[in-house]
Amino acid sequence: MFDQLTIFDIPETPDISKIKQEGMIYTVDSIVFSSGHRRAIMQYLKENDKQNAYKEFDKAFSTYGFSGGKYNFSNGKITVDREHEFKVTSRQLFNLLL
């Protein structure tokens, strides 16, 4: 039997908040594990010194960038699949570490 609802199928719209969250997590991981500030960030976090960890993270945020693949990051802007762009702050990303 023909399903009448297939006539009205609407393509699923992406869950923008989920896409943004995934992009933010990927960016945090990249900054923490690949930036030149990674050792200092991790050491301060290990010592539970969040203030200095944030200072180092903020320095990395200001100078770090990457492109290629699904995610791109530069100058506080995350791009996902070349379709979705999100402005983020270093504080937003740092809070994901905590």
pLDDT digits (tens, 9 = 90+) for 15-48: 899 999 999 999 999 999 999 999 999 999 999 9
pTM: 0.83
CA separation for the pair 93, 98 (Å, rounded): 10
Longest CA span, the chain:
66
Give pLDDT, residue 14. 76
Q: Phi first, then psi: give them for residue 19, nearest 5 degrees.
A: -60, -45
CA separation for the pair 62, 84 (Å, rounded): 21
pLDDT digits (tens, 9 = 90+) for 61-93: 999 999 989 999 999 999 999 999 999 999 999
CA separation for the pair 41, 31 (Å, rounded): 10
Give pLDDT, residue 4. 53
CA separation for the pair 70, 82 (Å, rounded): 8
